[in-house]
Structure 1
């Protein structure tokens, strides 16, 4: 139980109708979850406007309401607080409700189109191996030191974020690494959090179903760095043309990393094999089991962040050499027939291009590269032909298939992917709607030493069709199918 006036600390308020000395049991933004003496925050969401459910929240026991527009009829005994933006207010209230847990952590946010999950997850792994208690908020999973929780969003809602951060406080966690998505920034889910550092990986074509333009998507990412304090650090990839843009208005201490130009933290790839990378990071050589140029960037971001957080350079290099790949990120198996199957989350044009170029840079060209790929439904449609074009140019054979069609017809998605294939590449492509059958066909087509890339779903263990999720795991599926073909 906490006083309403304490929950409203640092919230920008327009009008208060009623007293703020009353006590609140809990905070909710879903009227169905409201109980006696709770505070209800009316969120104007993409699908539902919470203002329509203020009366329901009061009927369920709410004693206070935070909203952007006061109801015409005010109920006696209920306090109403009008603010300009309830998303922003909820984030600050959530921090206050859980006693501002981010202030008791060394919290680092990772944002960018590609590499967020890998960078955050490997930082968690590195600091755990260094002997610290560590937290992780990622697309793949949430970790409160050694306890794992299921992740539902890249950046959860602000109440969920702060509840996990409070659990980390209770467990004595010192460092926390968090993926910060453009949706999360735009919806102010990270408002009120105290970040010690921010990492920018890169920015490419994605989420234009939500942000509408690339400029808006980029500008939203920048807001994260604009909000960092002068005591924080911002470390950005300046090989990306938007890297320096992210630093323009930040108060944080500025650091850069790059493979292709001068930077505070620089890296050179000495060897790139399926077994790993030999890198020269600043003046030191290091071997890592991670693969490809995109992972060289991730390793460099990790190295820079660990050093900025105070770890010794020699210790960082040792710890990086022990890192293991993240679930669904360039995970691979080799069958008894010497067929290599790679599963990767690549679901954007740039990520798919990076993975295919990595494979092509390592392989001898005496083997075939067979790519299985699709695009998710109810998401940015403009990237579909790009994905088709990239896959068909950089692969020997391509099978287009369903990803998570959601509410769309799989055949419609596949038609839009196929539209990107140039006439000279038509013969390379095949379309099989059923994902399991597509993977099975790739396995049947592959011969010894061939490579199969299954892209798009990575760590996901489900397929979503018309609102229903059924179990589907790419790595599990291809492993089983290759074993069956060996019998």
Structure 2
């Protein structure tokens, strides 16, 4: 029944997107549009492609989870939004085309793809970072999730895929693809395999893939190897991505990681690159309400595996019971002890207060976001500012 209703809504979104493109004159046809999707890493990859193209002297605009950058002006894209409303996309594309921009980097989600909200947008190139457990409340199965992500590749002339990603590799092998497929990877044979860890200090393993994805895209766009590597050396990660807020006797990091895979990767990275003996890893996190419940156990298991101390707290619980969400996360800890503190600010305060020399406190789930949804109300929120307030910075 729910899927049937969603199918009707998808027809509405399709018509709305097409009408918007008709109204704005199908502006994507006047630009080289690069689509970026994936479970994790898409925002970093989007910003890096944008940075490389800018550094190479190209006229480029961008829409990401964090903001839209059209020419020299930034626009807020809204609360908890990756891809703006279907009408705004062609509007932003037209603004870019009218300003003489040549390239447009567009971050998008599986929801927007499934709902046909990109109908009428022409993609020269599309890249998928990875496909792991997320949004199964909506897509139901990982295969359906992968099929939806791959719609972006099918919409583009050239598709760039991570050959080291198991789900992506299996999908490409078992389906006929309309676009030209180019691969990148660090473990398997691929069209692009440059390892940026050799030249970027302290580059996280997972970010090596994001850098490589951007490298592959920009090489396909004709940017030279030298220009890409020069640009990568000056790139700063987007807000809320391995954001080191405090680094003295102990360290505090804010990161957007909010999937089991992302939490695993960021905690692994912190242990490998930032934690010094006898320091402990202290983790503050939660899981969003009215979203994929099946990932909560795995998120708890990841924290239990890599963190020494874990504080489970609120994270946009919406109209769900935050205690219920916390308990479902806690089930992933098995017999390992954890704390529940449903007030996010108090949880962060307790974690920081418990920190000793050489410890690392990492706060995940919100990253760059500027609001926290409690019930049906968006409250002003900023993990970085809250952390600085607690530390009196």
TM-score (norm 2): 0.93
Deviation digits for residues 191-220 of structure 1 (CA, Å, limit 9, x no counterpart): 121111010110011011111222211111
The 1:246/1:331 distance shift into structure 2, 3 A limit, reads farther
Q: Which has the higher helix share?
A: 2
Question: How much has 1:387 moved relative to structure 2?
Answer: 0.8
What displacement does 1:185 show? 0.6
Q: Pick one of 254, 260, 277 that aligns with 2:187.
A: 260
Match of 1:454 among 363, 388, 393: 363
C-alpha distance in structure 1 between counterparts of 2:5 and 2:50, whole Å: 32
Larger Rg: 1
Alignment partner, residue 29 of structure 1: none
Matching residue of 1:249:
176
Once superposed, what is the RMSD of the aligned Cα atoms?
Answer: 1.9
1:433 aligns with 2:331: no
1:214 aligned onto 2:127: no
Asked if 1 retains the 8 angstrom alpha-carbon contact of 2:281 and 2:362, the reply is yes
Deviations for 1:417-476, whole angstroms, at most 9, x for unmatched residues? Answer: 1111111x12xx111110000000111001122101100111111111111111111111
The answer for the alignment partner of 2:87 in structure 1 is: 159
CA contact (8 A) 2:63 2:83 kept: yes
Contact 1:156 1:184 in 2 (8 A): no
Structure 1, unmatched stretches of 5+, are 1-43, 51-83, 270-277, 280-285
The alpha carbon displacement at 1:90 in A equals 2.4
CA drift at 1:246: 4.0
Preserved CA contact (<8 Å) 1:288 1:320:
no
2:164 is matched with which residue?
A: 239
**Mapped contact 1:288–1:322 kept (Cα < 8 A):** no
Write the distance in 2 (CA, Å) between the matches of 1:176 and 1:194.
Answer: 11
Matched with 1:54 is none
Could you report, residue by residue, the CA deviation over 1:120-167 in whole angstroms, capped at 9, with x for unpaired residues? 112112222222221111111111021111113212232110011011
Task: Give the conservation status (yes or no) of the 8 Å contact 1:95–1:101.
Answer: yes
User: What is the total number of aligned residue pairs between the two structures?
Assistant: 385
Q: Which has the higher strand share?
A: 1
Match of 1:60 in 2: none
Partner of residue 269, structure 2: 358
- Partner of 1:442, secondary structure, is helix
Q: Quote the residue 1:399 is aligned against.
A: 311
| 1:331 positional shift | 0.9
Residue 15 of structure 2 aligns to a residue whose secondary structure is: helix
Pairwise CA distance, 1:94? 1.7
Aligned residue runs from structure 1 range 105-144, under 5 A: 105-144=31-70
The superposition leaves residues 258-288 of structure 1 with CA deviations (integer Å, 9 ceiling, x where unpaired) of 111111111346xxxxxxxx32xxxxxx325
Q: Which residue, 179, 200, 218 being the options, matches 1:287?
A: 200
Question: 2: distance between equivalents of 1:134 and 1:267?
Answer: 24
**Is the CA contact 2:195–2:212 (under 8 Å) kept in the aligned structure 1?**
no
Partner of 1:170: 98
Bigger drift between 118-127 and 142-151 goes to 118-127
Provide the C-alpha distance between the structure 1 equivalents of 2:6 and 2:244, rounded to a whole number of angstroms. Answer: 38
**TM-score relative to the length of structure 1:** 0.76
- Where does the alignment leave 5 or more consecutive residues of structure 2 unmatched? none
